[in-house]
A and B are shown apart, each in its own frame.
Chain A
Amino acid sequence: DTGVSQDPRHKITKRGQNVTFRCDPISEHNRLYWYRQTLGQGPEFLTYFQNEAQLEKSRLLSDRFSAERPKGSFSTLEIQRTEQGDSAMYLCASSFTPRPNRQAGNEQYFGPGTRLTVT
């Protein structure tokens, strides 16, 4: 399977605990995205990497959230001191940088997500 993978698929944790999620993108993709999705809403952009560089962070990403992509391949998203409001589906997606003059580009392919429940 050469798609985007995420681990774990489900995580239940108690409020105040730290959690870490992993994303393995499609191997030839240099761009990696993290999103959060709650029921009835579309995914909300959290952060973006091009290779190992984190180029954009949403204001949704509080100080308790940190993401890394140390070697430009897999990425981790850590949430410290979890709160009940952090309960959501955390989605990872990857894409490649579109070629110049290409009409479209940056088609993103999503992993299955990690469903976080904070009790």
Chain B
Amino acid sequence: RKEVEQDPGPFNVPEGATVAFNCTYSNSASQSFFWYRQDCRKEPKLLMSVYSSGNEDGRFTAQLNRASQYISLLIRDSKLSDSATYLCVVNEGTGGFKTIFGAGTRLFVKA
């Protein structure tokens, strides 16, 4: 089993759609969680941290379920500019510095 698993892609959605990405992690001692966005041939950019209580940033909502070892990202009212690869990220280890990335889920938003 992979340490961090994401939905296989790609997701093809029309503008304005709501899309949800799921991610599971294997290490119950994982300490912190993030979603990153990566555009083609660019570096990953932090989208949002994922808090135990869930958090929202504009059209983006992240949820964490520690009992199920599950993280989600919801994008509402998709824009063309949301087209990218979304990476689920988990920090493990004492101090939470060992960082594991999922393989990413590709999103295409079409007009």
Give the B-binding residues of A (Cβ under 8 A).
31, 33, 35, 40-45, 48, 50, 55-56, 91, 97-98, 103-113
Contacts and interface: CB of A to CB of B under 8 A. Distances in A.
Given A107-B34, A107-B49, 14 more contacts: A42-B102, A42-B103, A45-B100, A48-B97, A55-B95, A97-B95, A98-B96, A103-B49, A104-B34, A105-B32, A105-B96, A106-B32, A108-B34, A110-B43
B52 interface: yes
A75 to B, nearest CB: 15
Sort A-B residue pairs by CB-CB distance and give the 5 closest, nearest first.
A42-B101, A104-B49, A110-B43, A43-B101, A103-B51
B97 A109 contact: no
Q: Which DSSP category, helix, strand, loop or mixed, fits chain A's interface?
A: loop
A42 B45 contact: no
Contact of A109 (B46, B50, B100, B104): B46
Given A104-B49, A108-B99, A42 B43 contact: no
B59 interface: no
Given A42-B87, A42-B103, A110-B44, A104 B32 contact: yes
A34 to B, nearest CB: 11
Given A107-B34, A109-B46, A113-B43, A31 B101 contact: no
Interface residues of B, number: 27
Nearest to A39: B41
Interface of B: 4, 32-34, 42-46, 49-53, 87, 91, 93, 95-104
**Residue of A43, A105, A111 with highest tally of chain B CB at under 10 A:** A43
Nearest to A103: B51
A42 B93 contact: no
A44 B101 CA distance: 7
B104 A31 contact: no
B52 A103 contact: yes
